[in-house]
Structure 1
Amino acid sequence: AFLLKALSIGKVSVVAPLVSLYGAVTTVLAIISGRQVSWIILSGLFLCILGACLASISPSHDGKRESPASVG
């Protein structure tokens, strides 16, 4: 319960989506090393990165965003 509460507030709420991108990091490393990838893999990679950026946007107490930019 404490872990889930920590993930929903504070600085951890920005870091947690980034940590969950380990699959995207390994995919990028595979692309850099020359492995052929399909458009499905590239679209999944894009969705993972977009989802992490959207998940890192922290709302303020009145429902509005505290800053206009998330991790991106």
Structure 2
Amino acid sequence: LALLHRANLIRYERTRTNGEYVQQLHERPEVQREFRRLTRLFEMKWYGQRSCQPADYNACREMVEKIRDEVQ
């Protein structure tokens, strides 16, 4: 979120949901797509109280790297 905020792609506010941030990224579909995938995995693990496996961690790292590459 900090990276996207600094790049002026989103406007960070503590009360916003991941879905609201996804909507803010509509002008950058490649970033929006990866951020949506990342937040879906996070929400599935966090709110679904599912354990996080090494493959999940690696998938998240890859998604973050793709987002970082698109933003910078």
TM-score (norm 2): 0.51
TM-fit CA distance, 1:17:
3.2
Instruction: Check conservation: 1:17, 1:56, Cα contact below 8 A.
Output: no
Who wins on radius of gyration, i.e. which is larger? 1
TM-fit CA distance, 1:44:
0.9
Q: How does 1:3-18 map to 2 (within 5 A)?
A: 15-18=28-31
Instruction: Check conservation: 1:17, 1:53, Cα contact below 8 A.
Output: no
Distance (Å, rounded) in 2 between the aligned partners of 1:45 and 1:54: 14
TM-fit CA distance, 1:50:
1.4
TM-score (norm 1): 0.51
Which has the larger share of helix? 2
Where does residue 32 of structure 2 map in the other structure?
19
Q: What is the root-mean-square deviation in Å for CA atoms of aligned residues?
A: 2.3
Distance (Å, rounded) in 2 between the aligned partners of 1:56 and 1:43: 20
* Deviations 1:29-55, CA, capped at 9 Å, x for gaps: 012111112101111111111111112
Unaligned runs of 5+ in 1: 1-10, 58-72
Distance (Å, rounded) in 2 between the aligned partners of 1:46 and 1:39: 11
Distance (Å, rounded) in 2 between the aligned partners of 1:41 and 1:28: 9
Instruction: Check conservation: 1:24, 1:45, Cα contact below 8 A.
Output: yes
Q: Which runs of 4+ in 1 moved over 2 A?
A: 14-18
